[in-house]
Amino acid sequence: MFILVNLKAYPCDPIEVATAARDVAEASGARIAVSPQAADIARVADTGVETWGQHVSPNAHGSHTGSTLAEAVADNGAEGTLINHSENRLKLADIDGSVRAAERADLETIVCANNPAQVGAAAALGPDAVAVEPPELIGGDVSVATADPGIVEDAVAAAEAVDPAVDVFCGAGVSTGEDVSTAGDLGASGVLLASGVAKADDPEAVLEDLVSGI
């Protein structure tokens, strides 16, 4: 089970979260990654935690002011990237372009989707994983795996029908070890979460609870 902590643009200390994630991962043997703002990727990666970008743009080197170049994300220590998060939606052609850009830079990819139908379409683009995250549950107190377990099961089935090699993760409201365990029982092989760790007074304690569900 993969746990990816997205720090979004929250006013947290990315090094504190990264250090906690590294320590919990080392102690538990769990795979935990942190996805900070692009400007913080290098210093987060320097902690030794597995580091992911929050986005890469669907372009190569060139005249692309304001883009997040996949090669720059990789050169600064990231090992993977989110694509098409619900807070940074892309057109289908641009999702494909971002996946290809990430592949070019040897970054793992997770393409986010709102529902099982979108999961199937995303899986057809050949990312390493897709993540189903109903927008109405993002940032809430109830995990998608509890609020709507059917959407997780349907997402797993949708990806399996298109490409069995694509992993399925789930996100939105995940905050406890029980949420992680339930997600695994529904067929997910990873979870995405953000505020549950980024806004926590004690990120390490939250992470320890999360890995207890693996």
Active site residues: 85, 133
Q: Do 14 and 44 contact (CB within 8 A), yes or no?
A: yes
Binding-site annotation: residue ranges for substrate: 6-8, 138, 173, 194-195
Residue 193: beta bridge partners? Answer: 5
**CA atoms of 48 and 62, how far apart (whole Å):** 31
- 161-182 exposure pattern, b = at least 16 Cβ within 10 A, e = fewer: ebeeebbbbbbbbbbbbbbbbb
Is residue 146 exposed (0-12), middle (13-18) or buried (19+ Cβ within 10 Å)? middle
Could you tell me the two tokens for 169? 């993760």
